[in-house]
């Protein structure tokens, strides 16, 4: 007998996990537990205090903490366990948790992984130089400023120009710090172009086609050197660097488990209903597609909660096979990254696409020699592109083809 024996265990209390719990309880599923490793619930929005949440869900902008308060008001009868990290996922929906009294075994009929995403660190980006204090991600910066009311530096540089990088400008602004510069490796910002106006208005120069070449310090950071593709060099005096964006799904649990992983993206396999290679484990929110907006992750959680409620009520036992979804260059990932098909019935699916750089091109979806979808799309890395209503005919049992997606 384990202490936790739940119908549904949700790992992570961000917008996606809360959304799934809300839908499941509304559908009458009982005995749901959310496990959260932090002391407070809410995931990333709990320390994002600018008005960038709520538009899609409530029709008005609100801060992250307010957004979490509002969505929690709709989430009733769910047990929430904070300060508990889930440390392993096993076969047969068993899992292990780390608590103050040690490691415990737990069980659920269904496990939802809603563990979010993290930003790529300086080391993973292969930025060389010394290792002084003052090098942070945006998420860590927001915790310092919004949650602890302090800032670890006075003059900072922001590496990256994703939406979250502009969020870092706001956050520094709240601590009365104007960033020295933003550094972008490409020839345009990754976020929507109007964000440039915000940087301009706040007096933050953006250096395009540029990379950090050196980090100089004694025990504290002293200077950052950058160089552009054309060989132009700059040296900035500063005591902080924020490595923002380049999100990676927080999927260490899945990667160390029996779940199958997509070798192209390192994201666990998940089908059109967000079910992983084990139908009793689902992957949702930014763990599945690093990284989308908080409102989108909450709405996805609601949708998937309903799918899981259906599945728990009527387990569908008809023979199903995977069709892998593979993608070509300039495409970062697809959601789903596989489809579960029966040999009897056709189905229509939507596929979400994220790209690696700005692209105006023809998206083609092919399966078993047939073109299933072809349309020109304007693609931006910050925007997800929905390929709607792709029709898949019943599977030929001998056909081992993959669905191939290209962008030309
Ligand atoms: C720095 C930053 C700023 C952002 N700013 C905005 C913004 O201004 N507006 C906006 O719309 N979106 C913003 N986003 C994106 C938005 O916050 C996310 O889309 C949203 O929070 C994703 O929800 P989620 O539930 O998938 O994950 P998260 O919100 O990341 O929640 C995941 C939760 O899982 C918990 N967890 C992880 N692993 C374990 C484990 N093993 N055991 C137990 N618990 C675990 C984490 O502690 C966390 O609480 C930002 C993202 C970042 C990183």
Sign of CA dihedral 45, 49, 53, 58: positive
pLDDT value at 123 more than 80: no
Report the topology of domain 319-408.
Answer: Immunoglobulin-like (2.60.40)
pLDDT value at 92 more than 70: yes
Average pLDDT (360-369) is 93
Assign domain 121-245 to a CATH class: alpha beta
> How high is the mean pLDDT of the chain?
91
pLDDT value at 319 more than 70: no
Q: Is the CB of 11 under 6 A from ligand 1?
A: yes
Average pLDDT (371-399) is 87
**Among 196, 127, 138, which residue's Cα sits nearest to residue 171?**
138
Could you give the CA distance from residue 296 to residue 15 in angstroms, rounded to a whole number? 9
Report the topology of domain 1-119+247-317.
Answer: FAD/NAD(P)-binding domain (3.50.50)
The structure tokens 């689902």 sit at: 282
pLDDT value at 2 more than 70: no
Q: Is the CB of 286 under 6 A from ligand 1?
A: yes
Tell me whether domains 1-119+247-317 and 121-245 share a fold: yes
Average pLDDT (363-375) is 94
What angle is formed at CA 399 by the lines to CA 394 and CA 404, rounded to 5 degrees?
85
Q: Is the CB of 129 under 6 A from ligand 1?
A: no
Q: How far is CA 293 from the centre of its chain?
A: 9
- Residue 218: the pLDDT is 83
pTM above 0.85, yes or no: yes
Instruction: Determine the distance separating the centroid of ligand 1 and the alpha carbon of 102, expressed in angstroms.
Output: 26
- Residue 317: the pLDDT is 54
pLDDT value at 235 more than 50: yes
Weakest mean pLDDT among 75-79, 110-114, 185-189, 339-343: 339-343
Encoding tokens for residue 260? 């199958």
Could you give the CA distance from residue 394 to residue 12 in angstroms, rounded to a whole number? 36
Q: Is the CB of 249 under 6 A from ligand 1?
A: no
Q: Where are the domains of the chain?
A: 1-119+247-317, 121-245, 319-408
Which residue's CA is the closest to the ligand 1 atom numbered 53?
139
Q: Is the CB of 335 under 6 A from ligand 1?
A: no
Half-sphere exposure of 345 (CA within 13 A, CB side): 8
- Residue 160: the pLDDT is 94
Band of residue 399 on the pLDDT scale cut at 50, 70, 90: confident
- Residue 318: the pLDDT is 56
């Amino acid at each position: 007998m384990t202490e936790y024996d739940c119908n549904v265990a949700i790992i992570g209390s961000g917008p996606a996990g809360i959304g799934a719990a809300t839908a499941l309880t509304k559908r009458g599923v009982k005995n749901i537990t959310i496990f959260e490793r932090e002391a407070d619930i809410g995931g990333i929005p709990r320390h994002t205090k600018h008005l960038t949440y709520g538009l899609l869900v409530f029709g008005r902008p609100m801060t992250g903490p307010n957004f979490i308060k509002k969505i929690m008001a709709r989430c009733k009868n769910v047990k929430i366990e904070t300060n508990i990290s889930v440390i392993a996922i096993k076969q047969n929906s068993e899992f292990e948790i780390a608590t103050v009294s040690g490691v415990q075994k737990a069980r659920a009929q269904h496990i939802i992984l809603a563990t979010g995403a993290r930003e790529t660190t300086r080391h993973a980006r292969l930025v060389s130089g010394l290792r002084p204090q003052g090098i942070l991600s945006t998420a860590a910066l927001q915790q310092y400023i919004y949650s602890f009311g302090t800032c670890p530096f006075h003059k900072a540089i922001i590496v990256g120009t994703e939406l979250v990088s502009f969020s870092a400008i706001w956050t520094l602004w709240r601590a009365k710090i104007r960033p020295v510069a933003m550094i972008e490796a490409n020839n345009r910002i990754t976020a929507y172009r109007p964000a440039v106006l915000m940087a301009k208005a706040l007096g933050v120069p953006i250096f395009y086609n540029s990379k950090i070449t050196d980090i100089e310090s004694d025990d504290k950071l002293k200077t950052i050197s950058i160089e552009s593709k054309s060989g132009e060099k700059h040296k900035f005096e500063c005591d902080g660097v924020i490595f923002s964006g380049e999100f990676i799904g927080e999927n260490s649990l899945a990667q160390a488990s029996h779940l199958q992983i997509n070798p192209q993206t390192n994201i666990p396999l998940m089908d059109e209903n967000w079910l992983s290679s084990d139908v009793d484990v689902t992957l949702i929110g930014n763990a599945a597609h690093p990284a989308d907006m908080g409102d989108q992750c909450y709405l996805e959680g609601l949708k998937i909660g309903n799918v899981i409620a259906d599945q728990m009520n009527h387990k569908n036992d008809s023979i199903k096979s995977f069709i892998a979804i593979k993608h070509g260059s300039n495409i970062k990932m697809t959601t789903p990254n596989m489809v579960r098909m029966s040999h009897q019935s056709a189905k229509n699916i939507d596929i979400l696409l994220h790209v690696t750089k700005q692209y105006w091109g023809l998206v083609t979806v092919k399966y078993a020699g047939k073109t299933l979808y072809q349309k020109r799309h304007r693609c931006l890395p910050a925007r997800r592109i929905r390929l709607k209503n792709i029709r898949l005919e019943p599977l030929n049992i001998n056909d081992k083809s993959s669905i191939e997606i290209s962008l030309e």
